[in-house]
Chain A
Amino acid sequence: MWISSTATVTADDLAQRIDAVLQQSFAAAQVAPGPVSSDAEFCRRVTLDLAGRIPTVDELAKFLSDPDPQRRSVLADRLLDSPEHSQRMADLFHVMLMERRGDHPEWTVFLRTSFAQQKPWDQLVREILDPQESPEQIRGAAWFITRRLEKVGQQETDYPGLTRDIGRLFLGCDLQCAQCHDHLTISDYRQIEFQGLYTVYRNTSIRTDVKFPAVAEKPLTRKTDFMSVFDKQPLLVGPRVPFGIEHEIPQFESGQEFAVAPDRAKNFPGVPKFRGLRLIAESLPSAANRRFAENLANRLWFVMFGAGLVNPLDQLHDDNPATHPELLAAVADAVTAAGFRIRPVLRQIVLSQAYQRSSLGAAAGAVPYQYGQEKRLSAEQLLASVLTACGTGGPAATADAPAEAEQKRAEAFVKAFGNIPGEPELEFSPSLKAALFVLNDPLMQEQIQPGGGNLSERLLQNGDDIAVADELYRAVLSRAPAAEEVRFVCEYLGQRREHRQQAIGNLVWGLLASTEFCLNH
């Protein structure tokens, strides 16, 4: 675990702190940091990161013509305060926490209301770890656990998998290997870290008496027996947060275990007096648990920079130090100082020079953070960006049965661009499946078909090929075209006067399928 720096970092000076630490690492490597991003590059990057889509042509134009020297922080603040930011955070954390195990409307409500209210991360995690039936807008939090308790085919309920995910996602510790023995190469990961959590989760099940996701908990009456597969010494552990203190299990007389008695007629499982879920929820997400803060710090860093300070994200331990230990400490301090509110931390990261550096000019072998990094776009970001680029995200999409059609479209994008269930989405990994979707799926062709004032229609109505090139590049790639790109477009259109509609469609498609569009860079 990293010792916190002597001068505690507050959320407010995190940006400076980040740049000071990186400056030292550049000096040590005897390199100069790369140039600052252009305004267009910054506008696209920050809009994708904070609002989950590329900027519209108008938003970009407004930003580029803004004379305010503070326009970057003004833009960041405007984006952070927008409803789209809450949506983006809900999407982002949905993908991070559920890893494409599907979706549930109550879970969506929980995430959206949580981020709209700027709910602190510790509170949000408490609500996930010990889900309550009311109020209604947070009860969907239970789906994190119930989805993982669902049986797959003939297999047993995957309690170890649920236990593992609690460690991975909230503490950055993949305790999988510690299920059967102390980790062989990671001295921090002992078998007791896994088994203490497992004691709680193997005692849970999905409630069947209510329609919404809800977790049932049996009375916990005794410790878990376990032994290492190596030395076979029998051991015992009660409920325990990894790296924390074990809780004693109080003994009740038979029949006295319940605070609310079960009701068999209604399939109501009852509520035990002593609840492991509550114990974990009270002690895991707290400022006293440094790993909890470090995990959030590392994951937010990953979101904004495309790589964690500690990689893999779920291998936080002493033998796997951060690339920049002082940065991990600084961000974790800032997260704690901000009371686990995410927005002020993201704001500081955006204001750092590190975040605002250009990705242009990066060569293999560059020092980390010397240049801006390429980041994978999620299926949600891609869909929102395609709709923004093509100008069909607004009223045109709300024809008949809009909600249903939109839902189908969103599912198709997740299917094409998402990873398989249970696999985190980390790096850019183009796939044949996604390429065939972009090549042939009617949902993509619809976007290119001129109509409803969309991009293709606007370009088609514009007789000036230079202006077409300009609008095309600004709409799809959020920048002005370079001279050779204008030339390319003009020559192409010039050769296809009789097939102008197809030619315009081909240009829009070609840029939508480009690597530049598919990445945040």
Chain B
Amino acid sequence: MLQSTCQSDQHQFSRRRWLGTAAAGAAAVALPVFDPAVHAAALQRSAKQVLFIWLDGGISQLESWDPKPNTEFGGPFRAIPTSVPGIHVSELLPQTAQQMQHLAIVRSLCTQDNAHSSGVDRIQRGDPKDRGVVYPYFGSAVTKLLGPNASGLPPYVWIKPLSGGFMHKDAGFLGPQYGSLAFGDGKPPQNLLQHANVSDQSLQERMEIRAFADRQYARGRPAASTEANGFVYSMGLELMQRRQLFDESTFAPADVQRYGTHDLGRHMLLAKRMLEAGVQFVKVNSYGWDTHGDNFNGSWSLVRRFDQPFAALISDLAASGLLDQVLVIAMSEFGRTPRVNGHLGRDHWPEAWSLCMAGAGVRRGIAVGSTSDKGTWVTSQPYDIGHMFHTWFSALGINSRETAWDNQGQPLPIAHEDCHPVTELLS
């Protein structure tokens, strides 16, 4: 009897309905009328994934992607050649330089905010026009727009030092269910471990009884509540059953050595496992990049600690072919001032800075944009974060010009309407 009560295709259907259209926040994507070709494109799109590496505080572009050696503000580090002839990066990125054939560097970012408190939000929300609504962070936006994939895992996972838990802030007007599940210090959330008194068999039966009760309740009532409730229980069970994913003791020692035993190394390795398991959007945070004092010693250790796992990860994703579907982005809320302050530090500089991306539909082995000799100003066409949002959405197969949020009836652009995708970054 019970076998017939809980068919997995019903779960799939319910999950799709919930994530796709039945959002409590009433924000849904305007999808075109059903068309087999479009449908196939949508399925392919939902296979796309994102790794978003956030270097909180502001990585210095001069000590990473846009070195200016032997200039007034260039600092002590050299520029080194990369695997792509003609593109040079800072000598603090020796391993990443060898992966340049997979990467795209943008050196012409020019953004609006030089404060951390507002800048982090602004950049990660794509700095939309202020309409009095709180836009979602990129992670919430992507998981909403791509719709659920087949993994059954939480779509938006955030790996970070310190505390974890369920983080709703990122979701903005999409509603709390589009927030992230944060793995504090890489550790999974509370209550993931099955209670000792409950056998696997019992757990299965409990879920089936719960599903039966919900089907009974849903008779003669709108399906939204039971679908939403069923969805979180299926996801909970999925997470419980795949908890070995988060168990660091199962990491191969060779991988741990390649990625590094420090926080960022461990977290990037965990991120790789999550991407392989199918998590749609993984954000990895690294803190402490705000080098107002002693920027050069600081960058020497910070940038190299980033270099090792980043290069390992790009190399692994490229080798497995996963890079074709995973968009990788490494960035901060702004860059750092070319002028060196009295504490041998660099301050906040949103005027001319850089980021690095790779994978999915991003062109490989290029450096886009340029800055003045001293690195002070953008000398090519400046790009705001809105241009990056358009570009990233495009790389994920989402038409950023035609897709709109539906915020309780109010159509809102998913990326700043004054910006556009940067075609030279797209393959």
Residues on A facing B (Cβ under 8 Å): 155, 177, 184-185, 359-364, 374, 419-420, 423, 427-437, 439-442, 445, 449, 477, 482, 484-485, 488, 491-492, 495, 502-503, 505-507, 509-511, 513-519, 521
In order of increasing CB-CB distance, the 9 nearest A-B pairs are: A510-B209, A514-B213, A436-B191, A435-B236, A516-B217, A435-B232, A440-B191, A515-B229, A430-B229
* B193 on interface, CB distance cutoff 8 Å: yes
For A441, the chain B residues whose CB sits under 8 A away are 191, 195
Contact B197 A515 (CB under 8 A): no
Is B202 interfacial (CB 8 A cutoff)? yes
* A359 CB contacts on chain B under 8 angstroms: 221
Cβ-based interface call for B206 (8 A): yes
- Cα of A502 to Cα of B205 in the assembled complex, Å: 10
Contact B191 A439 (CB under 8 A): yes
B225 on interface, CB distance cutoff 8 Å: yes
Contacts A429-B24, A431-B177, A513-B210 given; indicate if A440 touches B202 (C-beta within 8 A): no
CB distance from A420 to the nearest CB of B (A): 5
Query: Do residues A506 and B205 form an inter-chain contact, with CB atoms below 8 A?
Result: yes
Query: Residue B199 at the A interface, CB < 8 A?
Result: yes
- Do residues B202 and A430 form an inter-chain contact, with CB atoms below 8 A? no
Contacts of A440 in B (CB 8 A): 191-195, 198, 240
Contact status A429-B176, CB under 8 Å: yes
- Bound-state CA distance A419–B168 (Å) is 9
A360 to B216, CA, bound (A): 11
What chain B residues lie within 8 Å of A488 (beta carbons)? 1, 212
Residues A432 and B232 in contact in the complex (CB < 8 Å), given A427-B24, A516-B217: yes
26 contacts between A and B (CB under 8 A): A184-B132, A362-B220, A419-B168, A420-B176, A423-B176, A432-B236, A433-B190, A434-B232, A435-B233, A436-B189, A436-B191, A436-B239, A437-B191, A441-B191, A445-B195, A449-B197, A477-B213, A509-B209, A509-B210, A510-B205, A510-B206, A510-B213, A511-B210, A515-B217, A515-B229, A516-B216
B-side contacts of A449, CB under 8 Å? 197
Name the B residues within 8 Å of A363 (CB-CB): 222
Task: Give every chain B residue within 8 A of A442 (Cβ-Cβ).
Answer: 195
Q: Tell me the B residues contacting A by CB distance below 8 Å.
A: 1-2, 24, 117, 132, 154, 165-166, 168-169, 175-177, 181, 189-195, 197-199, 202-203, 205-210, 212-214, 216-218, 220-222, 225-226, 228-233, 235-237, 239-240
| Other contacts beyond A495-B1, A510-B212: 20, CB < 8 A | A361-B220, A419-B176, A420-B176, A423-B168, A423-B176, A430-B232, A432-B235, A435-B233, A436-B191, A436-B239, A437-B190, A439-B236, A439-B240, A440-B198, A441-B191, A506-B206, A509-B210, A513-B210, A514-B214, A515-B213
Q: In this complex, what residue of A is CB-closest to B208?
A: A510
Contact status A502-B202, CB under 8 Å:
yes
Determine if B24 and A428 form an interchain contact, defined as CB atoms under 8 angstroms apart: yes
> In the complex, which residues of chain B have a beta carbon less than 8 angstroms from the beta carbon of A506?
202, 205-206, 209
Does A511 lie within 8 Å of B213, measured CB to CB? yes
> Are A439 and B222 in contact (CB-based, < 8 A)?
no
Please state if B222 and A362 are interface contacts (CB–CB under 8 Å).
yes
Q: Which chain A positions have C-beta within 8 A of B221?
A: 359-362, 374, 521
A-B contact count (CB 8 A): 149
Cβ contact of A502, chosen from B1, B199, B222, cutoff 8 A:
B199
**A contact residues around B165 at 8 Å (CB):** 433
B-chain residues with CB within 8 Å of residue A433 when the two chains form the complex: 165-166, 189-191
* Highest count of chain B CB atoms <10 Å: which of A363, A433, A503, A511: A433
- CB B219 to nearest CB in A, in angstroms, measures 8
Q: Could you tell me if B191 and A505 are in contact, using CB atoms closer than 8 angstroms?
A: no
List chain B residues, Cβ under 8 A from A484: 216
Question: When A433-B166, A436-B236, A510-B209 are in contact, do A364 and B222 touch as well, CB less than 8 Å?
Answer: yes
A229 to chain B: closest CB distance in Å? 11
Find the A residue at minimum CB distance from B218: A515
**Is the Cβ of A505 less than 8 Å from the Cβ of B231?**
no
Minimum C-beta distance from A296 to chain B (A): 25
Tell me the bound Cα distance from A510 to B230 in angstroms: 12
From residue A56, how far is it (CB to closest CB) to chain B in Å?
Answer: 20
Least Cβ–Cβ distance between B156 and chain A, in angstroms: 11
Shortest B288–chain A CB gap in Å is 16
B234 closest partner in A (C-beta) = A435
Given known contacts A434-B232, A515-B225, A492 and B202 CB-to-CB distance under 8 angstroms? no
**Which of B198, B213, B225, B232 has the most chain A CB atoms inside 10 A of its CB?**
B213
Q: By the criterion CB–CB under 8 Å, are A428 and B217 in contact?
A: no
Whether B191 contacts A374 by the Cβ 8 Å rule is: no
Contact B213 A430 (CB under 8 A): no
Task: Pick the contact of B216: A482, A495, A503 (CB < 8 A).
Answer: A482
In the complex, the chain A residue whose C-beta lies closest to that of B236 is: A435
Give the Cβ gap from A362 to chain B, nearest Cβ, in Å. Answer: 6
Residues on A with beta carbons closer than 8 Å to the beta carbon of B194? 439-440
Q: Which of A361, A510, A519 has the most CB of B within 10 A?
A: A510
| Chain A neighbourhood of B176, CB < 8 A | 419-420, 423, 429, 431
Which residues does chain B contribute within 8 Å of A505, judged by CB atoms? Answer: 202
A111 to B178, CA, bound (A): 34
B383 to chain A, nearest CB (A): 27
Shortest Cβ distance from B211 into A: residue: A510
* CB of B402 to closest CB in A, whole Å: 26
Contact B24 A515 (CB under 8 A): no
Residue B166 contacts which of A364, A431, A518 (CB distance < 8 angstroms)?
A431
The CA-CA distance from A518 to B228 in the complex, in Å, is 12
Q: Give Cα distance in the complex from A518 to B190, angstroms.
A: 21
A318 to chain B, nearest CB (A): 18
For A186, give the chain B residue with the smallest CB separation. B132
In the bound complex, CA of A362 to CA of B1 (Å):
29
B207: chain A residues at CB < 8 Å are 510
Contacts of A361 in B (CB 8 A): 220-221
Interface pair A515/B226, CB less than 8 Å apart: yes
In angstroms, Cα B191 to Cα A42, docked, is 35
Cα–Cα distance between A435 and B233 once the two chains are bound (Å): 5
Closest to B205 in A: A506
Highest count of chain A CB atoms <10 Å: which of B228, B230, B232: B232
Q: Given the complex of chains A and B, what is the CA–CA distance between A485 and B222 in angstroms?
A: 20
Give the residue among B165, B192, B197 with the most A Cβ atoms within 10 A: B197
Bound complex: CA A425 to CA B165 (Å): 19
Residues of A within 8 A of B226 (CB): 515
A155 to B239 Cα, complex, angstroms = 36
**Identity of the chain B residue whose Cβ is nearest the Cβ of A433 in the assembled complex:** B166
Chain B residues with CB under 8 Å of A519's CB are 225
In the assembled complex, the Cα of A491 lies from the Cα of B208 at a distance in Å of: 13
Provide the bound-state CA to CA distance between A374 and B225, in Å: 9
Q: Is the CB of B233 within 8 A of A429?
A: no
Q: Cβ of A429: which chain B residues have Cβ within 8 Å of it? A: 24, 175-177, 228
Q: Once bound together, how far apart are the Cα atoms of A219 and B217, in whole Å?
A: 60
How distant is the Cα of A515 from the Cα of B14 in the complex, in angstroms? 14
CA distance A193 to B373 in the complex (A): 52
- A517 vs B209: C-alpha distance in the bound complex, in angstroms? 13
Minimal beta-carbon separation of B394 from chain A (angstroms): 31
A450 to chain B: closest CB distance in Å? 11
A440 to B165, CA, bound (A): 16
The residues of A that contact B213 with a CB separation of less than 8 Å are 477, 510-511, 513-517
- Cα A350 to Cα B154 with chains together (Å): 41
Bound together, the chains give a CA A513 to CA B234 distance in angstroms of 12
**What is the CA–CA distance of A439 and B192 in the complex, to the nearest angstrom?**
9
**What separation, in Å, do the CA atoms of A435 and B240 have in the docked complex?**
11
Residues of B within 8 A of A423 (CB): 168, 176
B166 lies within 8 A of A514 (CB): no
A residues within 8 A CB of B192?
A: 436, 440
Q: Which residues of B contact A432 (CB under 8 A)?
A: 154, 166, 181, 189, 232, 235-236, 239
